[in-house]
Amino acid sequence: MRWGTAAVVAAAAAGAVVLVVGRRASERMVRPGAGPGPGGAGPDSGPVLVQSLAAGRVTFSRRPESLRPGRWAVEWDGGGHAVVEEVLHRDEQGVTRRLVRADRGTLTPGTEVRFTPRVHLGDPTRALGLAFTDTAVDGELGALPAWWLDGRRGTWVILVHGPEADRQQTLPVLPVLHRLGLPALAVTYRGDEGAPASPDGYSHFGETEWRDIESAVRLALDNGAGRVILYGWSVGATTVLQTAARSAWAHAISGIVLDSPVLDLPVAARRDAVRAGFTGVAAELGALAAEGRTGVDLADFSRLAEGTDLRAPTLILHSPDDRIAPFGTVERLAAARHDVVSLQRFPGAEHAALWNSAPDHYTELLRRWLTPLL
């Protein structure tokens, strides 16, 4: 009897350990903001140090982050923020990049910095000089703050940021939308700062959030939009697909843009757990916990990945080297629905940081794809 009791106690203890490990490994997936955002530090990252500065250039210690192509921000303690572009020189000791601007704080040799995709900070006027209006979408849980940028066209673009980000993620694409005359609505959704919380406090990977985006579609149509284009990043792209598949106003969606869409939740959850420092069994437990804690229906993800409900022209922007969202899933979707899907690859780019890797190329692809939809 004693042995039986001991076995029960041991099993209960083991079960408790499994539960705790799974919850920890899944935390970033189910609670956005619990870890570094897109392009942020992973378990293989180390500190990047400023080695020296000269006119229009800065030399960093050689790390994977400091070698990334394209346009990036660097941030440091105390609110510092600067923007760097192409690599001018590299050797075993350091990496020299062009310094575009240092808009907050002062960079000095020895400063430890973090590379981040947040090149633009603030609202559309502060960051880009674009006029906008603060407004709100009337969602089922309450008011959802949004930025509204006017345009001469009758088609609105509704922009949906990803997890571990906010509306600032949409800023890089606003100038091209403005030049094309497209009104833009950059929205928030449940769980965002200033928006109502999800009732259980968790992200549901678009399973519930799509109703907030549907409310934004309804707002656009009620205010004169003839059609809408949905544009999302990461899980925000997944939410866009849920909206297009399930909304009563899906007929008004004339185009969809997906940047780094997450279409395979178990794999994405495992990869995110690894990024957070969990490996092996712990990462697997994190993936299971992410599904269990949120109650997401994986059958819906299968439909999204197959493109069963896609009706509107769809542009997918994705990196074959994405460490979160598997490229193979997107590639299969593009092949299965080649009638409506155009897939554009960004080799070497980080998840949801494709614009950073090649800003001009990204913008031109977007301009060319959007023009026939005007």
Tell me: domain 48-116, CATH 2.40.10, correct? Answer: yes
Q: Which has more confidence, 134 or 281?
A: 134
Q: What residue ranges do the domains of the chain occupy?
A: 48-116, 124-373
How confident is the model at residue 316, as a pLDDT? 98
370 pLDDT above the threshold of 80: yes
pLDDT in tens, 241-279: 999 999 999 999 999 999 999 998 777 767 666 665 665
Q: What is the side-by-side order of every strand in the sheet holding 155-160?
A: 133-139, 142-149, 184-187, 155-160, 227-233, 253-259, 314-318, 341-345
Position 47 scores a pLDDT of 78
pLDDT at 13 over 50: no
Gap between the terminal Cα atoms of the chain: 77
pLDDT at 311: 95
Residue 304: alpha-carbon gap to chain centroid: 18
Mean pLDDT lowest for which of 42-46, 75-79, 287-291? 42-46
Query: Rounded to the nearest 5°, which phi and psi values hold at 263?
Result: -115, -5
Q: Which two tokens stand for residue 239?
A: 């939410």
Q: What is the pLDDT of residues 58-69, one digit of tens each?
A: 999 999 999 999
CB 252 within 8 A of CB 224: no
Express each pLDDT in 209-221 by its tens digit: 999 999 999 999 9
Cα 161 to the center of its chain, rounded Å? 6
Q: From CA 301, how far away is CA 292, in angstroms rounded?
A: 15
Q: What would the pLDDT profile of 111-130 be if each residue is shown by its tens digit?
A: 999 999 999 999 999 999 99
Q: What is the DSSP string of 62-79?
A: --TTTT--S-EEEEETTT
Q: Would you call 9 exposed, middle or buried from its count of C-beta atoms within 10 A (0-12, 13-18, 19+)?
A: exposed
What was the pLDDT predicted at 201? 81
Pick from 125, 126, 123, 118: which is nearest to 162 by CA? 118
- What is the average pLDDT score of the chain? 86
3: pLDDT strictly greater than 80: no
Q: Element (H or E) spanning 246, and its range?
A: helix 235-246
Per-residue pLDDT band at 283 (split at 50, 70, 90): very low
Query: Which CATH code is given to the segment(s) 124-373?
Result: 3.40.50.1820
H or E segment and range at residue 363? helix 359-370
DSSP 189: -
